Each structure stands twice: as structure tokens, then as C-alpha cells.
Chains A and B, each alone.
Chain A
Amino acid sequence: MSHHIIDFADVHFRYPDGTEALRGIRFRITHGESVGIVGANGAGKSTLLQHLNGCLLPTQGTVTIGDLALTARTRREIHKKVGIVFQNPDDQLFMPTVFDDVAFGPLNLGLDEARVRERVDTALAMVNGLSLRDKPPHHLSAGQKSAVAIASVMAMEPDILAMDEPAATLDPRSRRLLISLLKGFTHSKIIASHDLDLILDVCRRCIVIGEGRVVADGPSEEILTKRELLEANNLELPLSLQKR
């Protein structure tokens, strides 16, 4: 299915202050792949993710999502295909109650009331969050917030799911729940994280980014066992692979 393909062709991005965050990123992700993106702080992971749905537009090169090249004009169309869960759930949950927040996307898609309610319930059930429906986001714990943030993106029923550091604020049990949730999501998914165990668990493929370029790209089991490669990029072997 061509509409789940993500293609980055020589993507460059420079921030207005002159920082060059991406310097020629190239990769192609096909339908159903699960890809982890790892790299040191400031390597360009978050910038890369923001290119997936046009929060940022490349200063050079092209990003293609499905059969659409990402431009200011196709941005809205692409928002429907790619759901991004941002790093800080407080920024993601901007509506006054959980229900309103999860309903925000479906309502913008122009669905009728019954469909919207159905989608909200399905998405919240997916993250075990039905009981949070009427709460305001600032009454939630960090784990609950990130669960609702995921639900709010899932309610859009995206073809591709992208997440930026999804487990950073979670306690071990919430992290475990998140991992099983992610394993259940069968469409393409891209996860940027320092949590290499999570990547190893969830993603079959792994891309290492360093200084705005792709440093390595291959199966997670292979990449995440190369000690030198990882250490050169301020990373270390996943805990589960370290000898105690």
C-alpha cells in the first residue's frame, strides 16, 4: 500500500538562528515497518520527527508521505495520515478536559457527533483511560497524561504513528503498558527515544542519527549490539544486553 510509505530524500533543515539540524537525511520506510530513531542529544531526532507532518518544512530536499510530497499546501492532508505524539504531553493536551482533547481531532475531521463519541471511547479504551474522560489534564499523573496524549492521536486513526520520547516520564508499569500498546499498533510507526530497550522491544528496524545525518540503518538486533557505534553516538548498549 503506497499510502503508508515515508520517504526522506536528502532532507536538510536549518533553523532561523542558523543552526543546521538536518544535513542530508535519507531513508525510506514502507508499510507496517516499526522504526526506532536513536542518537545523542541534539542529533536532530525531534527536528526529524517534526518533518513527518509538516510542523517544519525542509529547507532543502523532499519528504514524501504516501504519494504526497510535503509542502505547505499538502500539510493538512498529511496531518490526517501521520499522527505525532510529542515529547511533552502538556503541550499536546491543550483542551480543558480529556474528552474535549481526544475529540478535537475527530471533530476537525468533520465527523458527526455519534462517530466522534465512538472514536473518543475507542481511543480512550485502547489506553485504559475511559475513567479519565471528564477530568481536566492538569489533574492527571504523568503516565495518565501520556496515555491520553496517545489516545488523542489514535482518535485520528492515523496510517502512521510517530512518537517523540514516549516513555521518558513513565513509571515502569506504565512503560510496560505503553510497549504492549505499541506492539498492538500494526501500521507504520516511528519512535524516537533514548530508551534503547524500548526500541529493541518494539522496533524491528533502527536508524542512528548523528549531527543531522543517518549514521547507521539496519535491523535493531544488529545495530543495538554494536557497542562502538553506540558509544560513538553518546549511547550505550541496551540494559537487557549488558552483562551484569
Chain B
Amino acid sequence: MTFDERYFAVGRLDRLSYGRSLIHRLDPRVKVVATLLFLITVISFPPHEIVALLPFFLFPVLLLTLGGIPAGFILRKIVFVSPFALTIGIFNPVLDTRTVTVIAGLPISAGWLSFLSILLKFVLTTGAALLLVATTSFPGICHALRRLGFPPLFVSQLLFLYRYLFVLAEEAMRMTRARDMRTFGRRGLGVAVFVRLVGVLFLRTVDRAERIYGAMLSRGFRGDIPMLRKFRISFGDLAFLAAATILLGAFKFYPVTEGIGRLAQGVWP
């Protein structure tokens, strides 16, 4: 993806996170905890598991629909994610050629199974992270982290990072445009120009930090960033967490898919 596309995709995700749907209104702590539970459960399946992973797609589908998040957008983001997991996973079919089963005359090797399993886990885990941030504003996530025991100093600077992410990205974008407009062929795109560009951006950033610090001092900053927002965990939040835990547990400990499959085979033999 180009600079602009990446930037606007992040911006769109950020805008979505300020929605007002049922899912957006849940307490951020609950969503963070539920997401972590989801991830651990998905990851805990062994390397060759496939069918048991399928019911887990219910979660992203619920978040997408109840949260009013455009599915195509999230899918595109998943596809463009750095493909490290898949690069490593694709070796499995080559390395593990033991035939496990034959489906419709096609021999299926253990390597393909484990690759498919990695692929499913990849989509589920990547989707979970994206959906968390699409349904929870980043400041909300930071509040959750602070409440979950992360050091205030860390959370404060994380909030600064978020606040200036877009400001600096736009600055970088303006600088790159200025470079590209006067670049012909490959000259000017090399390391020397890049280093100076980043150097200038760095100096501007430090000056900006200085101005921000001045603005903070002017408004009485004394080393601690006070925040006024009391999240109260409501009944709805607890119900959500409980439902998520029960479903996750059910999907983890019962072979739901196979059960349904056998049921179907029993009904229509």
C-alpha cells in the first residue's frame, strides 16, 4: 500500500472507532479482556485443527454487524497486513507431506492442514485486533490499560503518540509529496535525501514537543496528567463478557462443528 492509502486506512479505522453502536458503548476494559480471551482461545488450538476454528468466526461477524463496521474494509486491511505468518506457514505443505485423509479422491497432507490452520488463525487474530480498535476509541483503550494496571507514565505518552500520530503523518506526507514532485526517475528517492528528510522531520518534531510542553505548563502541568472519566462497568458489560466467555469455552471444549456435522449426517444420512 502507498503512504496515502495506509494513512487513510488508519484514519478511517480511527473514525469508525468513535461510532455509537451497541458494541462501541461497551466498557473498553471489557472489550480488551474479551479480545485477549478470544485470542488465547484461538491460538490454543493445536497446529492441525481446522474445523473447531470455524465457529469462532461468529465473533468477528457479530462485531462487524452489531458495530456497523464495513466488512470489506476490515477484510482488505487483513489482506494487506504484513504476511510474515503466511510466509512461514507456506513451508508446512512442503515439509510435511504425510497424507492424513482423502477427500473426494484428493489426498490431503498434514502440511496443508496445518497451513490452513495458520491461515484461519491469522484471519481470526488479525481481525480481532482490527475490530477491537474499530469499535473502541484509542483513548478508551488507553483508559482500559491504565485501569488494568499499566503505569500512568506509559499510558500518558501512549496518548501523546496517538494524538500526534495524524499530525506528524500529515507532515511526513507533505514532505514526501514535496520530494516526489521534484523527483524524476530514481534520483532523489535514495538514502541521502531520505536521511535529510527524516532529520528535518525529527527536528520539527522535537521543536513541536517543546511547544507542547510550553502549552502544558501554561495550563498548570506539574508532571501528572489528570484525567476525568469514570467508567463504570454496567450490567450490559458484564453480560457481554459472560456471554463471550461461555461461547469461547463452548467452542474450545466441545467439537461444535463436528457435532453439527454428525447431527446433519444423522438427519440426512
Contact = CB atoms under 8 A, between A and B. Distances in A.
- Classify A-B as touching or not with yes or no (CB < 8 A): yes
Interface of A: 50, 53-55, 75-76, 79-80, 82-84, 86, 88, 90-97, 100, 103-105, 107-109, 113, 116-117, 134-139, 152-153, 156
A105 B139 contact: no
B186 interface: no
Greatest chain A CB density within 10 A among B15, B139, B160, B218 is at: B218
A98 to B, nearest CB: 11
A79 B217 contact: yes
A80 B220 contact: yes
Given A53-B218, A76-B220, A97-B139, A86 B166 contact: no
A124 B218 CA distance: 19
B214 A86 contact: yes
B139 A90 contact: no
Contacts of B138: 96
A107 B18 contact: no
A96 B162 contact: yes
Contacts of B227: 100, 107
Interface in B209-239: 211-212, 214-222, 225-229
B135 to A, nearest CB: 15
B211 A96 contact: no
Nearest to A108: B220
B220 A156 contact: yes
Contacts, number: 89
22 contacts: A79-B218, A84-B218, A91-B211, A91-B214, A91-B215, A94-B215, A94-B216, A96-B138, A96-B159, A100-B229, A103-B228, A105-B219, A105-B220, A107-B228, A109-B220, A117-B228, A134-B18, A137-B163, A138-B163, A152-B219, A153-B219, A156-B219
* Across the A-B interface, the 3 shortest Cβ-Cβ residue pairs: A108-B220, A105-B219, A107-B226
Task: Tell me the interface secondary structure of chain A in the complex.
Answer: helix
A182 to B, nearest CB: 19
Main SS class of interface, B: helix
A90 B170 CA distance: 12
Nearest to A91: B211
Contact of B137 (A92, A94, A136): A136
A156 B220 CA distance: 9
Given A96-B139, A156-B220, A139 B15 contact: yes
Nearest to B208: A91
A88 B211 contact: yes
Contacts of A97: 139
